[in-house]
């Protein structure tokens, strides 16, 4: 089963992803199709047109995971998660994907996961965790042509003091639940 990601490249290419919980995400729309990300974070290229333009294949990709939970002591404040490190060069086209989970030990939490390019928040999503066992989850994607080397960072904010951006799922002990990935397309 596959979750569809409805993508748009209008006005700079921001994309918001809403998964249906099936485990695999597939990018469609905005002129880019055929990229899937499995539940374990493994990218797959099924579009032969994309496979041909991936210079060096998936060697031109970066995946960074959150190593330890980040306690967000203040509500409505952005906290840094993993980042891509400095990637790319002027004229290169990249797809940036990010996923995060936010939990609060005292109850329900609303949280936002965003991709930050060092200057602006370029894509994001919002989620609500119903209770202490179900985190607020967000996925975001951004398709862009770089003007120079850029570092993309997953950032998170929650509506309560003391929520946490978590590095592994508390519900099912799934590792690596918070990550950011970059895939060079051209």
Burial class of residue 75 in the structure, from the number of CB atoms within 10 Å of its CB (0-12 exposed, 13-18 middle, 19+ buried): middle
Average pLDDT on 134-149 reads 87
Residues of the domain holding 155: 3-184
Give the pLDDT of residue 174: 63
At residue 186 the predicted structure's pLDDT band, cuts being 50, 70 and 90, is: confident
Tally of structural domains, the chain: 1
pLDDT reading at 44 higher than 90 = no
Average pLDDT on 157-180 reads 82
Q: Contact 55/153 with Cβ under 8 angstroms?
A: no
Give the pLDDT of residue 139: 84
| Look-up of token digits 């490190």 | 85
Between residues 114 and 52, the one the model is more confident about = 114
pLDDT reading at 151 higher than 80 = yes
Q: Contact 113/175 with Cβ under 8 angstroms?
A: no
SS3 of the chain: the string is CCEEEEECCHHHCEEEECCCCCCCEEEEECCCCCEEECCCCCEEECCHHHHHHCCCHHHHEEEEECCCCEEECCCCCCEEEEEEEEECCCCCEEEEEEEEEEECCCCCEEEEEEEECCCCEEEEEEEEECECCECEEEEEEEEEECCCCEEEEEEEEECCCCEEECCECCCCCCECCCEEEEEECC
pLDDT reading at 161 higher than 90 = yes
Give the pLDDT of residue 168: 80
> Can you give the length of the chain in residues?
186
Q: Phi first, then psi: what are they for 59, rounded to 5°?
A: -65, -25
Cα dihedral: 46, 49, 53, 54 (round 10): 0
Q: Which CATH number goes with the domain that contains 50?
A: 2.60.120.1340
Q: What is the pLDDT of residues 49-108, one digit of tens each?
A: 444 433 444 447 888 999 899 999 999 999 999 999 999 999 999 999 999 999 998 999
**Residue whose C-alpha is closest to residue 43's, from 19, 18, 16, 24:** 24
pLDDT reading at 7 higher than 70 = no
Q: What is the pLDDT of residues 9-43, one digit of tens each?
A: 333 333 334 344 444 444 444 444 555 555 555 55
Give the pLDDT of residue 169: 67
pLDDT reading at 150 higher than 50 = yes
């Amino acid at each position: 089963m596959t979750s569809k990601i409805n993508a748009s490249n209008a006005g700079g290419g921001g994309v918001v992803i809403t998964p249906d919980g099936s485990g695999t995400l597939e990018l469609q729309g905005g002129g880019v199709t055929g990229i899937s990300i499995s539940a374990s974070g493994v990218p797959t290229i099924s579009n032969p047109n994309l496979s041909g333009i991936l210079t060096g294949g998936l060697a031109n990709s970066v995946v960074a995971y959150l190593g330890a939970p980040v306690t967000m002591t203040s509500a409505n404040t952005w906290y840094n998660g993993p980042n891509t490190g400095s990637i790319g060069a002027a004229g290169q086209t990249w797809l940036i994907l990010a996923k995060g989970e936010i939990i609060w030990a005292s109850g329900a939490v609303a949280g936002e996961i965003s991709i930050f390019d060092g200057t602006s928040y370029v894509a994001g999503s919002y989620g609500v965790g119903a209770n202490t066992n179900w985190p607020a989850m967000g996925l975001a994607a951004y398709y862009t042509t770089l003007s120079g080397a850029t570092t993309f960072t997953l950032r998170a904010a929650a509506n309560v003091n003391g929520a946490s951006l978590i590095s592994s799922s508390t519900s099912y002990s799934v590792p690596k639940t918070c990550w950011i990935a970059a895939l060079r397309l051209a």
